[in-house]
Structure 1
Amino acid sequence: MKRFAHMLVALLTIGALTACSGGGSTPSGQTPGTGTGTGTQPAPATEPAPAPEKTLTLGLAISTLNNPFFVDLRDGAQAAADAAGVKLVVMDAQDDPSKQISQVEDLITQKVDALLINPTDSDAIVTAVEAANEANIPVFTVDRGANGGKVVAHIASDNVLGGRMAGELIVELIGGQGQVAELEGIPGASAARDRGQGFHEAVDGVQGIDVVASQPADFDRAKGLTVMENILQAHPDIVAVFAHNDEMALGALEAIEAAGKADQIKVVGFDATDDAVKAVQEGRMAATVAQKPKEMGRLGVETALKHLNGEKVDEYIPVPLELVTK
């Protein structure tokens, strides 16, 4: 019995030693639990999540949204911005140069990635362009240019060519004979200067044509009406009118129709807005020079994005013109 007890103790001791060994040994110099045995494995290293891409923001400083042409320009820009997934901040200067300068300064403070500017006044906007240059914000002008500062690209129709097209049509319509009036845009706006230049290139050399009045009506329909009323009183024998935009042309048309001279005076506008094209189709206006403002807005945004992506862009990007007649 005593011999059996000794054997049982020996067997229990061997079993205990075997259990403590864990079924194997730890390699020399390796901490238990870190090798290939049954120890806990460390979590594999993971790559840090990529930072989300920044959404680009473009600023559009527009001369006025109280004109269907510039509403179309804004809409074209907005559609292009939406398609590209970028933010577009639009500022309406309401034809006030000082207000536009303040708005551009505000966009600079917001640190927009690029500025699209449709200047109210090509001279006055220079200080705002220079402020953007100092802030390293690229500037693009649309429809109207800036007379100073660094501009990456200008997106516009050839306004000199458009004015010449209008003038040549008037010469044809009146057979090279008669008194003509001109309604000018905002003094200082590049579009007004260029359209007037092209118009005079076409008519000034024609011996039988006399431009008896060239007066600003600030691209505004109501002012076009008032200025035309005054011109009709001073020059009742005029036979044609060229207006630097359709809003002034439509205002002039109201004055002409009210004076009972609709059959005597040919009116040519510029921009091909919906109201003007309708007036041409109805035979009330002789013609309008068609620009494509939505295309300008689209090209403005796309050109700015190309530049921001490091692509080379042309300094002048033309938008085609065409003459709309009945």
Structure 2
Amino acid sequence: MLRRKVFPTILGAASVLALGLPLALAQEGPPGITTQTVFKPFDPAAPACSPPPGLAKVLAFAQDNEREFMQGVDQGLAKAAKDRGLEYRRALANNDAAKGVEQVQLFLASKIGGLVAAPVDPASMSRSLQELIWSGAYVGTIVPPPATSLLNAPQYETGKVLAEAAAAYIKDKLGGKANVVILSHDSMEFLAPRFAAMRDVMKTLPDVKIVADISPSPVNKEGGFATMSTILQAHPDVDVVLGADTVVLGALAALEAAGKARPDQFLGGIDGEPEAVAAIKKGDGPYKASISLASPVFAYAMGQHAADWIEGKSIPQAMDILPVALTADFLAQYQADVADPASVYKDPKKRDLYLKMYGNICYDTRDQYVNFPWSSEAK
């Protein structure tokens, strides 16, 4: 039976002791693979190895915030845990990096068998994730290392797919001219290539002007609203807005509040968040495209890999989330897929639309965990 727990704020070592749990000892372990490495395709027939001893059959999620993309991760992990008979726990950091680290330390102390992490601040959480890996647990991360199994998207390609859709719209519907806003997230070095791709594509259009290129703070809907409201004071006529769905949705709200939203605008985001999908389905508004990174689908796969790890099976060292452009023709299939990620995972043809897996690792070879910013685009 699935038992789902949401951890409250954690006060560190004192609270761990108060809960009657032993303090985790930070014993030094292997550094993992620290140099850029190209992994072979995942071999599902690779030999199994030993299951990790002394760990609980628990899958946990260290969640950075409640944006819809991460809610999809939570849903996919919970479904995978239920299907594999694992207890599921979730700890929400609410964008508090220190709180996120403390929550991971509590998971370590309780000897969980698997963790998926979306760190608020990758650098501050890195050591705690290593300690979990050294304990023998599965550690899956969404983009930054270290991890036994690291998830990333081909970031440049993801940004390029969105920017090319916008460029085609500018040529076909706007006469080749546009004022463009890029709402970036360059402070997260692992995501920076997607915004480099957007700039590269826009530079190929001689009559396109990037009037603002800025990272909202925080990177969420509220941050997008505040940033776009400021931009509109200096540049009231904006034709194109590109970024992650969560900030572009905030920008849309700012355009509407200022009376500057137009049906002929092109607003496009990345993540395939439900609110963005709903805006695209309307068909008569500014929101024209979202690049799907299908979080329930990849999260379900990560949950399955965690369960496999706990059973001693070999799992991928790395996994690509493949960018899929959501169009009117594809929306129905996409919505069905994210509502039932188990069916996608079981169907290789469907799964290959969203995921590509690389390398092999298991408990016995855990010293080969990924400890560099892996990307399939790196050569």
Identity %: 22
Segment of structure 1 superposing worse, 247-256 or 54-63 = 54-63
Partner of 2:139: 139
* SS of residue paired to 1:126: helix
CA distance in 2, matches of 1:214, 1:226: 14
Amino acid in structure 2 at the alignment position of 1:97: A
Cα contact 1:105–1:128 (8 A) shared by 2: yes
CA distance in 1, matches of 2:129, 2:297: 23
Deviations 1:139-160 (A, max 9, x none): 2113x323xx3x2112344333
* SS of residue paired to 1:141: strand
Partner of 1:322: 324
CA distance in 1, matches of 2:193, 2:125: 17
Unmatched runs of 5 consecutive residues or more in structure 1: 1-52
Partner of 1:269: 269
Aligned length in residues: 267
* SS of residue paired to 1:119: coil
Larger radius of gyration: 1
Cα contact 1:123–1:188 (8 A) shared by 2: no
Cα deviation for residue 202 of structure 1 reads: 2.5
Cα deviation for residue 189 of structure 1 reads: 6.4
Cα separation, partners in 2 of 1:105 and 1:201, compared to 1, 3 Å: farther
Amino acid in structure 2 at the alignment position of 1:228: M
Deviations 1:226-245 (A, max 9, x none): 1001111122233211022x
Cα separation, partners in 2 of 1:54 and 1:312, compared to 1, 3 Å: closer
* SS of residue paired to 2:187: coil
Higher relative contact order (CA 8 A, sep 6+): 2
TM norm structure 2:
0.65
5 Å-filtered alignment, 1:158-307, equals: 158-175=154-171, 176-185=176-185, 187-188=187-188, 190=190, 192-217=191-216, 218-244=218-244, 246-263=245-262, 265-282=265-282, 283-284=284-285, 285-307=287-309
CA distance in 1, matches of 2:118, 2:202: 29
Cα separation, partners in 2 of 1:55 and 1:103, compared to 1, 3 Å: closer
CA distance in 1, matches of 2:251, 2:81: 36
Cα separation, partners in 2 of 1:193 and 1:99, compared to 1, 3 Å: farther
Partner of 1:126: 126
Cα separation, partners in 2 of 1:273 and 1:234, compared to 1, 3 Å: same
CA distance in 2, matches of 1:239, 1:123: 37
5 Å-filtered alignment, 1:10-29, equals: none
Cα deviation for residue 76 of structure 1 reads: 0.8
Deviations 1:295-325 (A, max 9, x none): 1211111112223333322222223332124
* SS of residue paired to 1:286: strand
5 Å-filtered alignment, 1:35-184, equals: 56-64=57-65, 66-142=66-142, 144-146=143-145, 149=146, 151-175=147-171, 176-184=176-184
* SS of residue paired to 1:312: coil
Amino acid in structure 2 at the alignment position of 1:153: S
CA distance in 2, matches of 1:224, 1:140: 29
* SS of residue paired to 2:72: helix
CA distance in 2, matches of 1:57, 1:145: 22
CA distance in 2, matches of 1:210, 1:272: 26
RMSD: 2.3
Amino acid in structure 2 at the alignment position of 1:154: L
Deviations 1:24-75 (A, max 9, x none): xxxxxxxxxxxxxxxxxxxxxxxxxxxxx986112211111x2222112111
Amino acid in structure 2 at the alignment position of 1:315: Q
CA distance in 2, matches of 1:54, 1:134: 12
TM norm structure 1:
0.75
Cα deviation for residue 103 of structure 1 reads: 1.0
CA distance in 2, matches of 1:240, 1:157: 24
